[in-house]
């Protein structure tokens, strides 16, 4: 079958491809421990389930306006005002089928083919894949331990800077001083920013602050992406939204209209309920569970001569530096899957070979422990053999 030239050169996302392989193996009855992406073992918040119950009693669930139901947009605008300090009106909110759709549409309306987009690596693969689908030029820059004016001034000219705060996979949070440097640089250079804050509620240490929590966020052209997937354990619900200056939201609606039209009404109601369910006993229990898992893996992997891992301040991942093993990390991931039935994400898929990323929030703790022990046995064997 002939495939368009436009898509023929593109490949599926490495992350979803690996997860798809694992699912296919499970469908064949094989037992696989899946650390390749982060899928929560928690259900959606009770408020979401209650909202769904109520919504299903409604006489109808109509199409809504493309950007979202007016009531849902008003609730989300109030939520980001309250929780994130972002002064947003309902017209600045666009409800989407997850952050991925919002990212695609934001890049679509903020840049033209050939325009440069700065992406720090390691990166979430969708930043690069989506930029490439749209004919944009990703410029990959090593993520520094701290973003400074000096670093920003050394960057090549670009239309857009993509930031991930909190950061997948390192768990790093942007500090107030970094956000101030970034805002000043955006103003000075006219570069626009897309800030993906999908992990905002998975913070163990420190405080998450939004770049858009400043009165001039619209002028600076900051687009903030939110997702229910990780912060509210709602991966399969496909629920997210963007906060963008109203004219950008209108342009994003023009892209979205012919593709998906509005997000499903039911999911919009779930999204609003999720983002209003912060600081509940359930959300605290989820965070405590994730923290205990993070600490367990850090304990298990401490003092290995071939592995270094920083304690992530946030998020469902550990970013393992296994460079001392001197392995091809793509091949090592394949061997881990074939020989130990453990799926991990090679750092290569996130732009940095020599690392393995593991998502630690799926399944039960005994399975997590078994999977990590298999990785340790694998590394010990390779290390001993050198």
Give residues in contact with ligand PMP (CB under 6 A): 98-100, 124, 164, 168, 196, 198, 227, 229-230, 240
What span, in angstroms and rounded, lies between the C-alpha atoms of 238 and 221?
25
Residue closer to ligand PMP, measured from CB, 192 or 357: 357
As a 3-state breakdown, the chain gives helix, strand, coil percent values, each rounded to 5, of 45, 15, 40
Half-sphere exposure of 338 (CA within 13 A, CB side): 6
Residue closer to ligand PMP, measured from CB, 179 or 195: 195
What span, in angstroms and rounded, lies between the C-alpha atoms of 379 and 335?
11
Min. distance of Cβ 243 from ligand PMP in angstroms?
Answer: 14
Output phi, psi for 374, to 5 deg.
Answer: -65, -40
Min. distance of Cβ 5 from ligand PMP in angstroms?
Answer: 27
360, 35 contact by CB (below 8 A): yes
Min. distance of Cβ 322 from ligand PMP in angstroms?
Answer: 21
> Position of tokens 């918040």?
45
DSSP strand pairing (355-359 vs 317-321): antiparallel
Q: Give CA separation, 84 vs 10, 171, 349, in Å.
A: 36, 19, 31
Min. distance of Cβ 380 from ligand PMP in angstroms?
Answer: 30
- 323 burial (CB, 10 Å; 0-12 / 13-18 / 19+) is middle
> What SS3 class is residue 308?
strand
Min. distance of Cβ 230 from ligand PMP in angstroms?
Answer: 5
Min. distance of Cβ 257 from ligand PMP in angstroms?
Answer: 19
Burial 110-144 (b: 16+ CB within 10 A, else e): bbeeebbbbbbebbbbbbbbbbeebebbbebbebe
Min. distance of Cβ 198 from ligand PMP in angstroms?
Answer: 4
What span, in angstroms and rounded, lies between the C-alpha atoms of 313 and 257?
38
> What SS3 class is residue 223?
strand
Min. distance of Cβ 382 from ligand PMP in angstroms?
Answer: 28
Residue closer to ligand PMP, measured from CB, 239 or 327: 239
Residue closer to ligand PMP, measured from CB, 126 or 327: 126
Token pair listed for 122: 């390691």
> Position of tokens 């009770």?
46
Q: Which residue is nearest to ligand PMP (CB)?
A: 98
């Amino acid at each position: 079958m002939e495939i368009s030239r436009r898509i023929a050169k593109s490949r599926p996302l490495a992350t979803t491809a690996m997860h798809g392989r694992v699912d296919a193996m499970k469908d064949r009855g094989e037992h696989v421990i899946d650390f390749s992406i982060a899928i929560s073992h928690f259900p959606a918040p009770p408020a979401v389930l209650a909202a769904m119950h109520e919504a299903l009693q409604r006489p109808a669930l109509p199409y809504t306006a493309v950007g979202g139901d007016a009531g849902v947009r008003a609730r989300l605008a109030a939520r980001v005002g309250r929780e994130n300090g972002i002064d947003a009106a309902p017209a600045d909110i666009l409800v989407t089928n997850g952050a991925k759709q919002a990212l695609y549409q934001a890049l679509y309306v903020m840049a033209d083919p050939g325009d440069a987009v700065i992406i720090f690596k390691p990166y979430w693969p969708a930043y690069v894949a989506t930029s490439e689908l749209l004919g944009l030029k990703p410029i990959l820059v090593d993520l520094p331990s701290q973003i400074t004016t000096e670093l920003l001034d050394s960057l090549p000219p670009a239309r857009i800077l993509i930031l991930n705060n909190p950061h997948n996979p390192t768990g790093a949070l942007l500090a107030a001083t970094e956000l101030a440097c970034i805002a000043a640089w955006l103003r000075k250079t006219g570069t626009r920013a897309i800030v993906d804050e999908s992990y905002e509620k998975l913070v163990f240490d420190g405080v998450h602050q939004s770049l858009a929590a400043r009165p001039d966020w619209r002028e600076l052209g900051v687009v903030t992406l939110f997702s229910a997937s990780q912060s509210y354990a709602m991966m399969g619900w496909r629920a997210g939204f963007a906060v963008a200056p109203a004219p950008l939201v209108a342009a994003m609606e023009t892209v979205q209209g012919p593709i998906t039209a509005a997000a499903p009404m039911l999911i919009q109601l779930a999204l609003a309920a999720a983002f209003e369910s912060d600081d509940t006993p359930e959300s605290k229990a989820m965070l405590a569970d994730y923290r205990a898992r993070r600490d367990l893996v850090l304990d298990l992997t401490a003092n290995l001569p071939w592995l270094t891992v920083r304690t992530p301040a946030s998020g469902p991942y550990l970013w393992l530096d296994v460079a001392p093993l001197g392995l091809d990390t793509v091949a090592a991931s394949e061997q881990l899957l074939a020989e130990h039935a453990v799926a991990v994400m090679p750092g290569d898929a996130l732009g940095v070979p020599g690392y393995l990323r593991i998502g630690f929030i799926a399944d039960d703790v005994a399975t997590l422990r078994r999977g990590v022990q298999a990785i340790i046995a694998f590394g010990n064997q390779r290390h001993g053999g050198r």
